[in-house]
Each structure stands twice: as structure tokens, then as C-alpha cells.
Amino acid sequence: MFLEHFPMESRQYGWIEVICGSMFSGKTEELIRRLKRVEFANQQVLLFKPKIDNRYADAAVVSHKGSSLDAIVVDSAKEALARWKNERVVAFDEAQFFDQEIISVCTQFAKKGARVIVAGLDMDYLGKPFGPMPELLCIAEYVTKVHAICVSCGNLAYISHRTVSGSEQVMVGAIEKYQPLCRGCYNKIAH
């Protein structure tokens, strides 16, 4: 369960939070919720998204439900370091699309005292760990795994099942290309 209050918020060092799960589980919605609370408290926020994610808006992070926040589009996580002006909170959406460098970048922000919030898919459409997410999960102080509902049976979803052909790991899309399935329903159609 997500901790609503972080017990070490007043310490001088920052920390890393990761929000993960399948598509349609509410990862971006949860990221936006946390950032809106921070903004309400008048804390400065930097929100980044990878250039590849242009599904709903070019310069905003947008959830499948339509919630949004303005974001800075970057080609790499390293670009975020140059944009930082001592903001207390730094966030990344769709972290699975960044390269391994995001791990070092998040660590550097935390060492500088920032609260770092990262949201991303923990697994790809085949159920394999996705991009830098496994390492981010390992180095995070706080991890929240959210779940979609299986569109076939109503159980908690396990995977983002791709419904269109293509074998590349990265295929940006939404409901037109993916559906959340539980392990049982996925195993019935995948094998």
C-alpha cells in the first residue's frame, strides 16, 4: 500500500519513488495525483517525458483518463540535469522508454536532495522486464505497483497484451494496440 506520508520528508537527502504496472493501471494518473499535491503545497516541480511518447500531447503528460500536466520533452534523461534549478521534486513519466542513464540521473537528483518520482511499465508485452525499470525498482526507497483490470475476466491484470502484429519491444500506443490481461487469460492466448 502506498504511504501517504513519507516519514523522512524533512531529511536533507532526497529519495526515489517508482510507480509501475501494466498499461491502463493508472500509473500516470497516480504520478499526476502526487505532483498536483506537491504543487498545492507550493513546491516547485520538474516533469519530464520521453520524446517518443507523443500519444496524447506533445508537451504534456496525459493519462488515459485525460488528466494532464505540462511536461518537458527530452531525448534522454541526462537532459533533465541541465534543466534542474533546485526544484524539490523531479518526475519522469514513461521511464521504460529512457535508456539506462536514467538510473544515474535519478540517483544524482536524489543525492542533491530532490524527491524523484518515476512512472513506467515494469514489463513489456511479452512479460519481460522493460528497459531501465528493474534497476529503478531496486534503487527506489518507495515502490507502488498498480494494477489494471483484466478485460477478459475481471481479475487483476498482469500484462499489457499487444493486440496488433509486430515483434519490436517498443510500439507506442493505447487501447487500439494493447489490452490488460491477467496471467491466466494471457497464458490461454499466448501459448
Q: What is the per-residue pLDDT for 68?
A: 74
Instruction: Give dist(CA 119, CA 93) in Å, integer.
Output: 5
What parts of the chain have a pLDDT lower than 50?
Answer: 1-3
Q: What is the per-residue pLDDT for 61?
A: 81
Residue ranges and CATH numbers for the domains of the chain are: 15-147 (3.40.50.300)
Instruction: Give dist(CA 160, CA 24) in Å, integer.
Output: 8
Beta strands in the chain (DSSP E): 15-21, 45-50, 60-62, 68-70, 72-74, 89-92, 115-121, 142-146, 159-162, 178-181
The SS3 of residue 113 is: coil
Q: What are the residue numbers of the active site? A: 94
- Taking only the tens place, the pLDDT of each residue in 21-59 is 999 999 999 999 999 999 999 999 999 999 987 666 678
Beta partners for 18? 118, 143
pTM value? 0.87
